[in-house]
Each structure stands twice: as structure tokens, then as C-alpha cells.
Chains A and B, each alone.
Chain A
Amino acid sequence: MANIAVNRPGSTVLLMGNEAVARGALEAGVGVAAAYPGSPTSEVIPALAEVAAEMNIYVEWSSNEKVATEVAAGASFAGIRSLGVMKQNGANVAADFIVNLNMTGIGSAGMVIFISDDPGGGTSNNEQDSRTIAKWIDNPLMEPSSAQEAKEMIKWAFEVSEAVNLLTFVRGVGRISYTRSNVVLGELPGKAKPRPFFPEIWDMNNPGKSKFTSGPFPVFHKPLHEKLEKAREIFESSSFNQYMGPEKPDLLIITCGASTSYCIEGVDELKMNERVGILKLGTTWPLPEKLVARHLSSTRKVLFVEEMDPFVERSVMELAAGLLPATANLTFFGARSGHLTPYNELSTDIVINALADILGITYQPRDSAYEDLAEEGAKLVPNRPINMCPGCPHRATYWALKNAIQLDGRNGFLCGDIGCYSMGFAGPGFFQSRTMHAMGSGTGVASGLGKLGRFGFDQPVLAMCGDSTFYHAVMPALVNGVYNNSNFTLLIVDNSATAMTGFQPHPGTGQLATGEPAAIVDMEAVCRAMGASVEICDPFDLKKTTETLLRKMQEDGGPKVVIMRHMCQLVKAKRKIPPAYKIHVDGSKCLADNCGCNRLCTRLFACPGLMVDNETGKAAIDEALCVGCGLCSDICPVHAIVKEEANR
């Protein structure tokens, strides 16, 4: 990870988009940054945490995105510039606070939230377009088209935020957050920060001046819309809104964010620079209407290029409707016309195809045999289904759980949650997980299912959550279960890290974002205090774990918690904890495809550290991947997989 506090203004460094965001916040003089980890934004906080002491800033991992936003707001209220960071799902968690924050407005210091969306859903279980939130809560929104612009935009967003006294969103996507590119550094401010202060107290006679207490009064709502209009005015002349192309284009592309590059490349590829203009909007809400109206009047055809929701498309078409009849001869293309899709990532190819269709050009991008050759080529690549890491404790938990559910024989129903263990819906979790939605919702759904006995629902109910997820959103759901005496078994798969997003510490790990020691919030004590029964298992003790789960499934009463405690193998590797065992396969015993085995280890258990020896057809250990956990030895029906204590 690059050190983002290098003080060499004007020099060019290679930065990941998320690092550029962090650098932008530093250049803006941010004092407080808070977030809950979530790809594609997980690297912003570590980049800031690394230089926290050096730059005299406060950086934290918060227990969830709502709290992170509240922490940041507190700083703003006290006059300290603050940054909140979250992925698209996190924006929903934070929304309940934000919809009230927009009423009071922020403090005297700017507050910016960087949200990164995930078109294509590579690291998410949804493809939500979080821009809509800016619209429904009436806050300003900007979209950077590169890492450089992300840095500049974050900096400017603080100024806008202060100018209009509103939280300001900067919205990236995975391609912006994760792409590394050259970024020219700006000035860093000094370490000194303003002294926090709270100047205002509630004044019944002057509520507009009173800060930080929201209410359903028109007195709050009217100023919000005035602030938004002010933001619109600022956006009209923003240099982040740029036009490239002829004065009177045959076709005007209106685009924003990461899609901008696809448009530039597409127009270049088709050599249509004389005919097609590109209006790239950096400020997408509120829409800079005058600027857009000027460009609409210069053309007859408009193509919207943006990923996921037709957000700008609808805003502009709304505007065009309002400008009738001046806009009557315009034709619009985009998601509505079917030239683009309101889902999945865009690409230069998709833009080219849209342009070619609209402009009536024939475009042959590749040799006609290309598709066939590509298909042939794809066959050379081994099929790599999703899987958990070698020796992952979740695999052990799922193995024991699968067996317990089968032994119980009543079709136990597992409600899944968000984490590495989400893979439980597929092969890596032996298809055990039946639901998966938001963080904490597995426990909430289980709490509901656990009350359906009166309607004849007789399947045992289970829920699973990770350690970090437990602190994030499971606790209220568990309280609900205890309060309403709902019968379900909650498995907390405690692997000592927020593993899926990159091993960030959380309230149970005893470590802060900056690496300093922290109080440990004891999940076992928390669950007990809530009134749930608690047992702790090491999932690698398959027999005890299976028996415990079976017994818990058959117990009556309110929620039962089983903490599956075993450290993530990658955390072990990071801490240089040596493997427990040395594993080898006794080929003479291995039954392989034969009756009595049928490749239990490589076909079903499927730890990536196991493979089939092509020569002998027997199971073998992939020594490059095996972490020596020894679990495969325990499941081998004929003890052909041998574990020996490793020399430590």
C-alpha cells in the first residue's frame, strides 16, 4: 500500500483509486474518517489509518456504516472536516441517520461520504445504484471518472459541503476504487486542526439557527431545498463537468463516472470525433440544468451512457420535458431505448455497438472467427468454481452442520448472512445456506421462522453470521429473538477477522484500525447477557461440533448461540502461525472412485489443498496450497489421508 502522506506537491505517484480518495481527504484537511469495511471501498480507511499519527487525524473502523456516519457527523458538528466511507449496501444502513442529518444540516466543517458501487456485483450480493439516495434525501452528488479526479473531487466536495451546509456524496464504482493509475499530488495542509466547539444551543424562537436537532418542521425542509438549489448553481460552473467534441454534434453522449473512458475510447475507435460530442458530468445531483440545456440545444440525438440505473438519463429527460417544445425534436437513446442495460458493467464494446446502431455504421471489431476461437480458448482454462480457502474453518463448520441437519432428519433450515460463509449456498458450504440478504438479516429471518410453529412449521431453524457481522447488525436481531422467545440456533463463525474484505479488525479482535490495542467486546458475554444460551466449539472437532449442533437443534426455548471459534487460515498465515500438521496420502489405502469413498475428499469436501493425482487416480495433497489443518484426515473414511504433528 502506498504511503498517501508523501508531501511532494506536483509529483506523480501510482495510486489505487481508494488511496487517491484517502489522499484527497488528507489534502482537504480531513480530521476524522470512519467506515465499516466493504469492498470496493475497504482500502480507504487502512490508507488513512497508516498515516493517522503522522497527519494528526482520527481514523476508525466503526461497528457499522450508520455508526460510522454518525461518528463523522459528530466531527463535522464540532468543526472538524470528516469523511465516511461505505459500499453501496452500507449506504442503506447509514440512510436512517442521513435522512435526518439532511434536515439539520452538518456543522461548520464539511462532511463527505465516499460510496463505491459495484456494477457487475463482483464483490457484492446486489448491484444497487446508490446514487438514488442523494436524490431522495436531497444531498449533492458527484461522480469521479478517474483516480486523479476522485482525489480532486473529494477535496472539492468538502468545499461544496461547507458552502451549502450539506453532507456531500462522492460516488465511485469498483473500476474507480480498484484501478491503479498515475495521480498528481497536491498540497497537504499542516497538522493543526481547528479546536472542536459547539456554538449552538436549542433556541425555540430561532429554530433555523439552532443546529443538530431535526424535526418534521417545514422550517427544516424548506431550507434543504434552498441549499440544493445553491448546490445546483455551484455545479453549473464546475470544471468537473466537461464537454469534448464539435459545436453541433450529430449525437451527444451524456455520461459520467467510469463510463466516461468507454465513451472516449468508443468515439475514437469509430473515428466519430467530428460527429459525436461527449458531455461528461462530474456533478450528477442536483443536475446542472442550464449547462445540460445548452448542450441539448446543440443536437438532435442524445445517448446516455451510465452504469446501472438510468439516473442521469431520467433527470435529463425530465428536464427535457420541462423545456418543451424547445426539446421536441430530440431523440433519446440509452437504457430506455435498450441500447444499454440498467444492469451489469458497461464496456467500450457496448458503447461502440450502441453508437454504431444509432449512427448507422457497420462496425466489425474483430475477425469473424474470433468468437469461435475465444470459445475454444476458454476450454483451455480450468473450471474454477467458487471455493473457500484451504483449511477454512467455515468448511469445517458447514461439514458438521450438514451432517447434523441430516442426522436430525427434519430438514433444518439455515438462514445465511454476509461474509465468506455466504458461499454456503453453493458447493463450498455443501448447499446448506437457504437465504442470504443483508448483514444481520439471517438472524432476523431466523427469529421470524422460529415463531411459525403454530402454523405447522416444524423444521429446525438455524442462522449463521460472522464475528464482524455479529457486531454490525446481528445483535438487534438476536435481542429480538430472545425477547420474543423464538426457537433458533445461531452459529457465530468467529474467525477473528473481517475476513472477506481483507482481515480488518473489529470490536472482537482487540485491535484498532490504526493497529493499537483495543477493548475486546466479548461476544459470548454479550450473547449471555442478552439471555441466549451459549456454547463454544472448535469446528475442527467435527464430532463434538456435530453433536452440539444436533442437540441444539432439538432443544426447545429461545435462541441458542453456538460460537464456532477457529482463526481464519489467512490470518494465521499473516501472523506466521505454523501449520498444525504435515499431511500426506497413503495411496495404497485411498479408495478414490470406489465404493466406500466415491471421492469424498476431492468431490464433496473439496478443500483446494486436495487434488487427484492424474497418474494414480488417487487423492493427493497440493503442498503449495495445503495449510496443514488436518481436517481431510478426519473425514477420510479409510484413513488414507494421514496427518502427522508438524515440527514446530
Chain B
Amino acid sequence: MAHAEKGVKELFDEVINQGLCTGCGACITGCPYIVAHGGRIVVLDKCTGAEGDCYKHCPRTSFDMDGVNRAVFGTVYSDGAIGRVLDIFMARAKDPEIKKRGQDGGTVTSLLALALQEGLVEVVACTRMDEDKAPHGYLARSRRELLRCAGSSYEVGFGLEAYRSLPKESTEKLAIVGTGCQIEAVGKMKQCSPKNSPDPQNIRFTLGLFCGWALSPRTFHPYLKTMCQLSQVCKFEIPHTPHYSFDFHFENQDISSVSLDEIKPYINPGCHYCWDLTAEFSDISIGSAGSAFPGWNTVLVRSPKGADLIALANRKNIIEIQALPEKRIKHLKSVALKRKRAAVKKITEKTGSEKELLYLGGLSESIAHKFLAQ
């Protein structure tokens, strides 16, 4: 691989101390030296290993777009906005319990519950909020456990620690749910297997979540604590436009709201460098940003495996599907491209050169050009 002979020192020099870390959690848990704590990646002691998976699988060290794409889809990377798409539509859960718990349409929870129920997977590596509403990586092995993971905290959660916490010898069939950066890390793992985690072949499919940015647990969580009694919150929500707010839904059905402008300073700095709104290396990507109607999800099917799962969900009649209007697709693409351009702008501001694109340095010239174009 391009970045042999680099380990935790370089991970800190090139990513974490540069403010590029997205908090995906790929570097932690499988390693006794690196842990996440209080929203930071912490090194507990000095690892002298010249070459480390921590560096290798980080989505913000050099990212071989074609290599990862080949490992995931068998082809080189081609698209410039929302990645490879076999099918695109909108969907929502039919199950009323899932509908109630889900962030928008409950499609993610529905598909995963189905996969567990049908034995397609035995465990789902996802993210779950604790009592304090801080997200952590979590391994769900039942519908009940899965339901407890539904809903978004909008905070960086180091979710891949769940996968990394499985013993290397584990043969459990696995689904991974995550945002773009997390799915990118999984892509890198598929390209080059981690030494100390289960074989990525065990990962039967990945569900990507649309993500424009996440909030920093270091700054946002303390703010959150001052805003409300966290144990009473049942849901956080950024409602669809024209709303421009961050809402707290309470157990007693109250809702309180703050302007997004108040929230934005708490965005995790590393997220500004992210190019991947729609989790382009997943089997299915699901979200609402930029496209969906309230109570619905936009679904992008990217791989045959993803298509099979959707087909099964249809057969089992667990989700409701409608075509996504062309106008919405166009809008999604424009939002996704905007994200890429904003990321590249941030990167070039940092490096001072359009030739130095940090982790995106491996992009082909034609694609890089698209990202650079204003």
C-alpha cells in the first residue's frame, strides 16, 4: 500500500493534530494504545510499531479512491457527486414501532431488523446513545437491541469501535451502519484486511448514512448539558427546510428549538474536510439531507447485495417505497457536489496549493478537477 511504514505517530502528525479527524473510530479498540475518551482520540502509551492499522485504515490518510472502489464494487471510481447508484427511491418503515423510533422514515432500522431476523447477519455494528445521550459504538444482536440504537445524536460517536471490539477470530456475519467516513474506513479494510479485527469478508453489507457534518463531543456535549435535562430527551432532530433549527424532543412530548446558527460552531472541525455526503462505498445509502420528504428516507442502492436486501424487504413487505422525483435527485446531487467542493476548498486553504489535496491526493485529475471547479 501507498502508506507503508506509518503508525500512530504519523496518524497524530498528519490527521489528528491537523484537525482532520472525523471521529469514525477505525483506529481505536483493536489497539491497546489508542482509545476515544471525551470526544478525543487519546494515546495511552507509545507504540513503536512502524506500520499500523490505525494509520492504514484511517479515512483521512491517503485514500486510494480507485483501489477502495475496486475492493467494494470491482470497478474504478467514476462518479463525482453521489457515487455509484443502481437504484434510487424513497422509502419508509411499515412497522409502527420502528416508524416511531426512527429518525426519519425508519428504513435503516427496518432493513437491519430484517437482516437479523432472516439470519443474513448475526450482529449489527452501529452506534447507540448512552444515558447521557453521548453516542458510542454498539453491537446489536436482536431487534430489541437494534431499536435502542435508532435515532441520531448528531454527534461524533467513534462508531467503528464496535466492529473493532469484536475478537479477531469472530466469524459472526456482520452488518455495519455508518456515515461516509466510517464506510470509507470499512472500504479501506476491505482493500487491506485489518490485522487484529475479524475478516472483512464477514461484513455482509454496509448501510451508509447521509452526513453533512457531525457535532464535536468535546464542545457540543458540554453545551448540550447546559441546554436541557438530557435524560428527558427522546430525540434530537434537524427538521427539513424551510426550518433552520436543532430540536429537542422530550419524553413529555415537549419540543424546544435552537437556531442551527447556534449549533454550527460546535461542528467537529474535521467534518469540514469531508467530501462524502452520501457514504459512497456502502451497499445501500440512506438519509434525508437534500432530498427526502418529512417522514421518508432517500435510498441509494449501490451494489447487488444492497439490491438483494431491498428486494427481500419488498417481498416481506416491511418497507413502503415510492419513486424519488427527478428534481429531488438533482438537488441531492448538487448538495453532494457542494459538499465536495467545500471540502476541497478547505483542504487547499490548509495546504495552500490545489496540487496538494491531503487524503484526496490520489484522485484522478479529471475527478479532482470536478471537485475543484467552482
- A272 interface hit (Cβ, 8 Å): no
| A594-B196, A596-B30, A596-B31 known; A406-B53 Cβ under 8 A | no
| A407-B37, A409-B42, A638-B196 known; A597-B53 Cβ under 8 A | no
B30 A407 Cβ-Cβ under 8 A? no
B42 A402 Cβ-Cβ under 8 A? no
B52 A595 Cβ-Cβ under 8 A? yes
- For chain B, the bracket of interface size reads 20 to 34
A596 B195 Cβ-Cβ under 8 A? yes
| A595-B49, A595-B52, A637-B31 known; A406-B195 Cβ under 8 A | no
Task: Mark interface residues in B41-67 (1 if CB within 8 Å of A CB, else 0).
Answer: 011111111011110000000000000
Task: Mark interface residues in A596-614 (1 if CB within 8 Å of B CB, else 0).
Answer: 1110100110000000000
- B32 interface hit (Cβ, 8 Å): yes
B38 A595 Cβ-Cβ under 8 A? no
Contacts of A593 in B (CB 8 A): 49
- B85 interface hit (Cβ, 8 Å): no
The CA of A638 and the CA of B167, in the complex, are separated in Å by: 8
Least distance between A306 CB and chain B CB atoms (Å): 45
Contacts of A409 in B (CB 8 A): 37-38, 40, 42
Task: Mark interface residues in A573-598 (1 if CB within 8 Å of B CB, else 0).
Answer: 00000000000000000010111111
| B32, closest chain A residue (CB) | A637
B44 A402 Cβ-Cβ under 8 A? yes
B44 A598 Cβ-Cβ under 8 A? no
The CA of A311 and the CA of B60, in the complex, are separated in Å by: 66
Task: Mark interface residues in A543-585 (1 if CB within 8 Å of B CB, else 0).
Answer: 0000000000000000000000000000000000000000000
The CA of A283 and the CA of B213, in the complex, are separated in Å by: 82
- B129 interface hit (Cβ, 8 Å): no
Least distance between B223 CB and chain A CB atoms (Å): 18
| B40, closest chain A residue (CB) | A409
| A407-B42, A409-B42 known; A596-B32 Cβ under 8 A | yes
Least distance between B308 CB and chain A CB atoms (Å): 33
- B168 interface hit (Cβ, 8 Å): yes
The CA of A409 and the CA of B48, in the complex, are separated in Å by: 21
Contacts of A604 in B (CB 8 A): 45-46
| A599, closest chain B residue (CB) | B48
A406 B196 Cβ-Cβ under 8 A? no
Contacts of A402 in B (CB 8 A): 44-45
Name A's interface SS. Answer: loop
Q: How many residues of A contact B (CB 8 A)?
A: 19
- A430 interface hit (Cβ, 8 Å): yes
Contacts of A603 in B (CB 8 A): 48
Contacts of A597 in B (CB 8 A): 32, 196
Least distance between A222 CB and chain B CB atoms (Å): 64
Which chain B residues in 164-204 approach chain A with CB under 8 Å? Answer: 167-168, 195-196
A406 B44 Cβ-Cβ under 8 A? yes
Q: Which of A430, A591, A596, A637 has the most CB of B within 10 A?
A: A596
The CA of A536 and the CA of B53, in the complex, are separated in Å by: 38
Least distance between B118 CB and chain A CB atoms (Å): 32
| A595-B53, A600-B32 known; A638-B168 Cβ under 8 A | yes
Contacts of B244 in A (CB 8 A): none
Contacts of B195 in A (CB 8 A): 591, 594-596
Which chain A residues in 429-480 approach chain B with CB under 8 Å? Answer: 430
Name B's interface SS. Answer: loop
The CA of A83 and the CA of B167, in the complex, are separated in Å by: 64
Least distance between B37 CB and chain A CB atoms (Å): 4
- A403 interface hit (Cβ, 8 Å): yes
Least distance between A628 CB and chain B CB atoms (Å): 22
Least distance between A93 CB and chain B CB atoms (Å): 37
The CA of A407 and the CA of B47, in the complex, are separated in Å by: 16
Contacts of B30 in A (CB 8 A): 596
| A596, closest chain B residue (CB) | B196
Q: Which of A594, A598, A604 has the most CB of B within 10 A?
A: A598
| A596-B30, A635-B32, A637-B31 known; A407-B48 Cβ under 8 A | no
Least distance between A588 CB and chain B CB atoms (Å): 10
The CA of A406 and the CA of B36, in the complex, are separated in Å by: 11
| B56, closest chain A residue (CB) | A595
Least distance between A430 CB and chain B CB atoms (Å): 7
A407 B38 Cβ-Cβ under 8 A? yes
Which chain A residues in 391-414 approach chain B with CB under 8 Å? Answer: 402-403, 406-407, 409
The CA of A595 and the CA of B46, in the complex, are separated in Å by: 13
| A407-B35, A407-B38 known; A596-B43 Cβ under 8 A | no
Least distance between B218 CB and chain A CB atoms (Å): 10
Contacts of B51 in A (CB 8 A): 595
The CA of A175 and the CA of B348, in the complex, are separated in Å by: 69
The CA of A594 and the CA of B168, in the complex, are separated in Å by: 13
Contacts of B46 in A (CB 8 A): 604
Task: Mark interface residues in B200-244 (1 if CB within 8 Å of A CB, else 0).
Answer: 000000000000000000000000000000000000000000000
The CA of A595 and the CA of B53, in the complex, are separated in Å by: 7
Least distance between B140 CB and chain A CB atoms (Å): 23
Least distance between B178 CB and chain A CB atoms (Å): 21
5 CB-based A-B contacts, threshold 8 Å: A407-B37, A594-B196, A597-B196, A600-B33, A637-B31
Interface pairs A-B: 3 shortest CB-CB = A596-B196, A637-B32, A598-B49
Q: Which residues of A contact B (CB under 8 A)?
A: 402-403, 406-407, 409, 430, 591, 593-598, 600, 603-604, 635, 637-638
Apart from the given pairs A430-B45, A595-B53, A596-B195, 5 other A-B contacts in the complex at a CB distance below 8 Å: A591-B196, A594-B195, A595-B31, A597-B32, A603-B48
